[in-house]
């Protein structure tokens, strides 16, 4: 197998859906016994940890939209999931069937709110973190 350049690998990742990329990361972690999680920032303020956490929450600019339940109108929820993501019908159905699952990850507040409203409008239970 020919060795791929970094640009070629990035081009391949750009074509993947969030779920496909997530599955790839899990497989990569298992294969090489590593963790791809970002290191948590360390707070070096004696006694001010509670205040620092509250400030970090206020400054949060990336949100995850998590589907916690499909409700009675599962087909409508699947349609909305497909509109919000680039998932195919089977992948969207699997996501809805496997709740709780993230629908969108690391999106801005406005996009997270719009997605949550669309999913709630279709009858789903949604959590924004």
Nearest residue to 108 (alpha-carbon basis) of 58, 62, 59, 60: 62
Task: Please state the pTM of the whole predicted model.
Answer: 0.51
The string of pLDDT tens digits covering residues 47-79 is 444 555 555 555 677 888 888 888 888 888 888
Q: What is the mean pLDDT of residues 18-47?
A: 70
Q: Whole-angstrom Cα distance, residue 80 to residue 62? A: 21
Q: What pLDDT sits at residue 50? A: 52
Q: Whole-angstrom Cα distance, residue 64 to residue 111? A: 10
Contact 13, 21 (CB under 8 A): yes
Q: What pLDDT sits at residue 54? A: 52
> Where on the phi/psi map is residue 28: left (φ > 0), alpha (ψ -120 to 50), or beta?
alpha
Task: Inform me whether the pLDDT recorded for 16 exceeds 60.
Answer: yes
């Amino acid at each position: 197998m020919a060795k791929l350049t970094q640009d070629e690998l990035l081009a391949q990742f750009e074509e993947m859906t969030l779920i496909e990329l997530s599955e790839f990361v899990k497989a990569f972690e298992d294969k090489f016994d590593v963790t791809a999680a970002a290191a948590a920032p360390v707070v070096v303020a004696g006694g001010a940890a509670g205040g620092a956490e509250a400030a970090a929450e206020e400054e949060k600019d990336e949100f995850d939209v998590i589907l916690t339940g499909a409700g009675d109108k599962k087909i409508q929820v699947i349609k909305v999931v497909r509109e919000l993501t680039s998932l195919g019908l089977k992948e969207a159905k699997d996501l809805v069937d496997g709740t709780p699952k993230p629908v969108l990850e690391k999106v801005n507040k406005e996009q997270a709110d719009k997605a949550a409203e669309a999913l709630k409008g279709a009858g789903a239970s949604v959590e924004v973190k």
